[in-house]
Each structure stands twice: as C-alpha cells, then as structure tokens.
C-alpha cells in the first residue's frame, strides 16, 4: 500500500545553491498536513509504512539506504532515530554514531571508518553525525589546515557518488534549530534527572561557536548537495514536525525504489 505523502521539495537543497541557513526558519511548519495532532497521526502512519518497506528492502536484498543526520547539539538526532525507526527490525538496520576518531582511525584517511559503516544490500544504515564532521569540527577547531579540509568536499562527493553507483540511496538531513531552542533544550537536560547524563560541559563551549558552525554548515551543504545526494534542511524546533519531515522523506525514498518480493524456487516442493 502506497503512503500518501506531502512534497518536501522546498526543503531540498539543489546542486549549486547559494544556501543561507538564515533563509530557513527553524520554527517553520508550513508543509505540515495539519496541526500538531494531525501531523503526528500522519507521522505514525509513515512510521508503519517504513516498517513494511524495510522488510521488503531486506527481502529483496538488492538496494540500500543511507540516512545521514547532522545538526547542532540538541538538534534531535537521537530523538529522530527513536521515532522514525521505532517499527523496523534490528536485523536490517544499523545505527553508527561517529565520535572522536581513535588513534587507529587517525592512521587512515578520514573516510576509512565511514565506508565500513555504509549499508550492505537490503540494509538501512543511519549515521548519527557522519563523515561531515571532518569538514565541520575540524574546521571550527582548526584541527587540520584549511588546505586539507577544503579538499574533502570533492572527496565526499566522489565517495557518495560511488555509493550511489552501487545502489545506495542517500538521504542527508540537517536538523535546523535556533540558538534559543538549543538553550532551552540544554536547560531541560539539566532539569531532568533522566536526561542529565547527556549534558557535557563541552556543550556550552561549543555553543559559543554557533556562528562559526553555521558558516561551516552552509559551505558544506552548498558544496556537497548533489543531484544524487541532496541535503534536506529540516526545521527542527518543533519535534513533531521534524519527525514528520524525516519520515516522509524516508518513505518517499523507499517507495521510489519500486521493490518487489523475490519469487522462491518452488519446483518440486510438496508440503504434506
């Protein structure tokens, strides 16, 4: 059964775009199919459809889906995964959270650890942060010279083109929140004993670099939004809207694969 979806094309960044994040309002919910309750209901239906399509993807065992989630601290990467992927089978879905590189990983090129986490046939792979940290964090904190990270835009495009050529559909989401919303969420972490463990003093230091990160994201998105792997800017101040946008895009991508269950060889099979 095909899901009824609304177009989120206005949120896709076209190749060659002169993107400015300030042109996207983190509070915007204009594409929603209704208010909060109706959109949440639509989102739940999309989540059910994702579960159906993921089973089909796994059974057909040909195509692959890579979901990349990027955003500032507290933008909702974990929450998006919990909501959108809550109905899928763990058998065919892998989530990778890219932390600070280990010494072994630093001994290789920056894409070495990433390639191993990409989806195999029939799989959905989800990146909670990703290879884009190597043109974001390293730039803002001057961990490598500009001559190094600037080359990585082309290297990333070539990497993603290779994945696309091998049958991988790539969805890249930037979860766009406002500084005020981030402040509120950081405070919520401190106030809630069940979420306090997520808080790190480094979050406050990173917050001071907000403008630098915005500039880094803008350039990264402009230079790596391609026809086969465009970025989707998700207004993420409203969690219910964020979840609906991402679920909508995932269903659209999976249904666009036009998958079919494989026909088993039943010659000579007799069930008694």
Q: Residue 40 belongs to a domain with what CATH number?
A: 3.40.50.300
pLDDT tens profile 18-47: 999 999 999 999 999 999 999 999 999 999
Alpha-carbon distance 269 to 272, whole Å? Answer: 10
The predicted pLDDT at position 68 comes to: 98
> Is 90 within the bounds of a domain?
yes
Query: Please, what sign has the CA dihedral across residues 212, 213, 219, 220?
Result: positive
Please give the average per-residue pLDDT across 244-259, as a whole number. 97
216: closest CA among 134, 96, 98, 101? 134
> Is 2 within the bounds of a domain?
no
> Is 179 within the bounds of a domain?
yes
pLDDT at 264 over 90: no
E-strand ranges in the chain read 64-71, 93-97, 124-128, 168-176, 231-235
Which domain range does residue 83 map to? 9-255
| Residue pair 73/206 in contact by the 8 Å Cβ criterion | yes
Portion of the chain with pLDDT greater than 70, in percent: 98
Q: Mean pLDDT of all residues in the chain?
A: 94
The predicted pLDDT at position 267 comes to: 73
pLDDT tens profile 191-232: 999 988 888 888 899 999 999 999 999 999 999 999 999 999
Please give the average per-residue pLDDT across 61-79, as a whole number. 97
> Is 270 within the bounds of a domain?
no
> Is 167 within the bounds of a domain?
yes
Residue 234 tokens read as 């998700």
> Is 185 within the bounds of a domain?
yes
Place of tokens 């915005």: 214
Portion of the chain with pLDDT greater than 90, in percent: 89
> Is 146 within the bounds of a domain?
yes
| Residue pair 233/31 in contact by the 8 Å Cβ criterion | no
> Is 264 within the bounds of a domain?
no
For the chain, what is the domain count?
Answer: 1
The residues near 31 (Cβ < 8 Å, ≥ 6 apart) are: 6, 7, 8, 10, 11, 245
Angle of helix 239-255 versus helix 77-84 axis, rounded to 10: 60
The predicted pLDDT at position 5 comes to: 59
Alpha-carbon distance 149 to 116, whole Å? Answer: 21
The residues near 128 (Cβ < 8 Å, ≥ 6 apart) are: 69, 77, 78, 81, 95, 96, 97, 98
pLDDT tens profile 140-180: 999 999 999 999 999 999 999 999 999 999 999 999 999 99
């Amino acid at each position: 059964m095909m899901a009824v979806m609304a177009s989120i094309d206005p949120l896709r960044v076209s190749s060659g775009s002169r993107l400015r994040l300030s042109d996207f309002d983190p509070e915007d919910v204009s594409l929603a199919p209704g208010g909060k309750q109706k959109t949440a209901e639509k989102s739940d239906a999309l989540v059910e459809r994702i579960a159906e399509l993921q089973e089909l993807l796994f059974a057909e065992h040909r195509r692959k889906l890579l979901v990349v989630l990027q955003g500032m601290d507290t933008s909702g990467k974990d929450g998006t995964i919990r909501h959108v992927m809550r109905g899928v089978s763990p058998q065919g879905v892998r989530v990778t959270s890219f932390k600070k590189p280990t010494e072994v990983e630093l001994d290789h090129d920056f894409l070495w650890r990433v390639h191993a986490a990409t989806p195999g046939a029939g799989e959905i792979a989800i990146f909670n942060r990703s290879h884009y940290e190597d043109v974001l964090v390293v730039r803002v904190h001057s961990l490598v010279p500009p001559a190094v990270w600037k080359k990585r835009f082309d290297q990333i495009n070539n990497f993603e083109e290779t994945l696309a050529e091998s049958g991988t559909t790539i969805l890249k989401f930037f979860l766009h929140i406002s500084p005020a919303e981030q402040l509120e969420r950081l405070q919520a972490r401190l106030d809630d004993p069940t979420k306090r463990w997520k808080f790190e003093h480094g979050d406050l230091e990173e917050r001071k670099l907000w403008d630098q990160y915005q500039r880094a994201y803008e350039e990264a998105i402009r230079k790596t939004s391609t026809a086969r792997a465009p970025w989707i800017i998700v207004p993420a101040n409203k969690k219910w809207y964020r979840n609906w946008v991402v679920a909508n895009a995932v269903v659209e991508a999976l249904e666009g694969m036009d998958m079919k269950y494989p026909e088993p060889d039943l010659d000579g099979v007799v069930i008694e």
